[in-house]
Amino acid sequence: MLLLILVAAVSGALVSILPTWEVAYFANLALHPLLGLAAAVWVAVYMRRHLPGWMVALCTLAAAAGGALIPPPYALPTVAVVHLVLAPFLLRGPAWVAGVLLYGAWQVCLASGMGQLMELQRGGSADVASAHLTASVAACVGLVALMALVHRRSLLRIAPAALLVVAVGAGHALWPSAEWSVRLDSIDLTSPRIAPDAALPPDAFSLQASCEDCHADAVHSAALSAHAISTRTPHYGKVQALVAEEVGPDAPAACDACHAPQALLGNDDEDGLMCTGCHLARGTAERDGATWLEVSLPAHVSLFFDAQGREHPPGGRGAAAIRLSPLRHAAAFSAPVLSEDTFCLSCHRDQIAPSVTAGLQPIRCAECHLQGDDHFMPGANAALTRHADAPDSAARLLSWISGEEAVRVRGWEYLWIVRDEEDEVPTSTVWLTLFHEDLTTARRGESYDFRVQSSNVGAPHDFPSGDYSLSEAWLDLTVTDARGTVLFATPGPGPGGVLEPGAVRLGGALLDASGQPIERYRVWTVTEKRTDGVIPGGRHRNDDFSVEIPPDAEGPLSIRGTWRYRKMSPDFAQWAYGPSEEIPVIALGRLSHEVKLR
Show me where the domains of the chain are located.
Answer: 2-174, 178-377, 432-595
- Per residue in 208-258, pLDDT (tens digit) is 988 888 888 999 999 999 999 999 999 999 999 999 999 999 899 999 999
Which pLDDT does position 195 carry in this prediction?
A: 80
Mean pLDDT along residues 574-589: 89
Look at residue 532 and tell me whether its pLDDT is greater than 50: yes
Distances (CA, A) of 187 to 339, 523, 524: 26, 7, 4
Residue 454 has pLDDT above 90, yes or no: yes
| Three-state DSSP state, 561 | strand
Condensed to tens digits (0 to 9), the pLDDT of residues 382-437 reads: 999 989 889 999 999 999 988 888 887 765 555 455 555 565 666 778 899 999 99
Beta pairing, strands 194-195 & 281-287: unpaired
Question: Lowest mean pLDDT: which of 204-208, 282-286, 346-350, 431-435?
Answer: 346-350
**pLDDT classification of 171: cutoffs 50, 70, 90:** low
Mean pLDDT of 311-325: 81
Q: Tell me what percent of the residues of the chain surpass a pLDDT of 70.
A: 78
pTM of the model: 0.81
> In whole numbers, what is the pLDDT of the chain averaged over residues?
82
Span 78-98, pLDDT tens digits: 656 555 555 555 555 554 555
What is the reported pLDDT for 393? 92
Query: Omega into 252 within 30° of 0, i.e. cis?
Result: no
Q: CA distances (Å), 469 to each of 331, 503, 584, in order?
A: 39, 17, 16
SS3 sequence of 401-426: HCCCCCCCCCCCCCCCCCECCCCCCE
pLDDT of residue 99: 60
Tens of pLDDT, residues 500-523: 999 999 999 999 999 999 999 998
pLDDT computed for residue 227 by the predictor: 93
Q: Which of 298, 300, 297 is nearest to 321 (CA)?
A: 300
Angle at CA of residue 220, ends 577 and 313, nearest 5°? 115
pLDDT digits (tens, 9 = 90+) for 122-150: 666 777 788 788 878 877 777 777 666 66
Nearest Cα neighbor of 382 from 362, 400, 369 is 400
Among 134, 131, 101, residue whose Cα is nearest residue 115: 131
Domain 432-595 fold is Immunoglobulin-like (2.60.40)
In 3D space, the residue among 185, 179, 178, 177 whose CA is nearest the CA of residue 287 turns out to be 185
More confident residue, 63 or 38: 38
